Amino acid sequence: MRVLVAEDDPVIALGLVERLRTLGHKAVGPVSDGEQAVELAREALPDVYLFDIEMPNLDGLDAAARLAAEGLRRPVVVITGVDDPSLVERSIARGVSAYLTKPIDSRELKAAIELAAARHTEFEALEAEVGRAQQALEDRKLVERAKGLLMSALQLSEQDAFRRLQMTARERNLRLAEVAARIVEQRSLLEPKPNSPAPSRSPLSTEGRSQP
């Protein structure tokens, strides 16, 4: 993996670069402050961030948070010279995946990178699952609203309204939620005007329309 190294102590930085090389990784950098780390991350797009917490201009936690906000979130391993429980809490709050205390040996570094990568993958999977669940909920709301419109305008049962949605989705090769969204968008066609007969065709009709 390509690991971006940000450490303000040049001796420690070179030691980290050498350890990464012996572990089979490619070091990007090193750089000596958080601002430089952000700039290099934008250019090099590394796979992992290895950031010292205490750095000039921008600390490692804030650098990681800024990159995540820009859509450049990666597995993050942070390094500190002080065993401080509050720093651990801050690290977790910033989405840091692993935490190391100086001095660092190759075995600890290897384990931290592997742990960070695994936790990052788990987090992305969880985010995707939550996203899918949220989309499913929004789709269901649309379908229920479209069914209600059809039931009211066309005097259909709930089952018949749902069958109409399903049939149109199959005919037009659309997702059920896409059909429902069109019904909701065109609901004015289903709302009878005062002293006028009920509509003879619904926005579900494909008659006279070009297929998408």
111-168 confidence digits (pLDDT tens) = 999 989 988 888 888 788 778 878 888 888 888 899 989 988 889 888 888 889 999 9
Provide the domain limits for residue 49: 2-104
Residue pair 27/21 in contact (Cβ under 8 Å)? The answer is yes
Give which of 92, 109, 96, 85 is closest to 23, Cα–Cα: 109
User: What's the rounded Cα separation, in Å, for the pair 176 and 185?
Assistant: 14
pLDDT, mean of residues 62-80: 91
| Helix or strand (DSSP H, E) at 41 | helix 34-44
User: What's the rounded Cα separation, in Å, for the pair 57 and 22?
Assistant: 30
User: What's the rounded Cα separation, in Å, for the pair 74 and 17?
Assistant: 18
Q: Is 121 domain-assigned?
A: no
- Are 41 and 135 contained in the same domain? no
Question: How many structural domains is the chain composed of?
Answer: 2
Lowest-confidence pick of 19-23, 104-108, 203-207: 203-207
Number of other residues whose CB lies within 10 A of the CB of residue 209: 9
| Per-residue pLDDT band at 210 (split at 50, 70, 90) | very low
Q: Is 24 domain-assigned?
A: yes
- Are 152 and 83 contained in the same domain? no
Q: What is the CATH number of the domain that holds 156?
A: 1.10.10.10
The model's pLDDT over 39-69, given as tens digits with 9 standing for 90+, comes to 999 999 999 999 998 898 898 999 999 998 8
Q: Is 38 domain-assigned?
A: yes
DSSP 190: G
- Are 70 and 135 contained in the same domain? no
Residue pair 40/29 in contact (Cβ under 8 Å)? The answer is yes
- Are 92 and 8 contained in the same domain? yes
Q: What is the CATH number of the domain that holds 54?
A: 3.40.50.2300
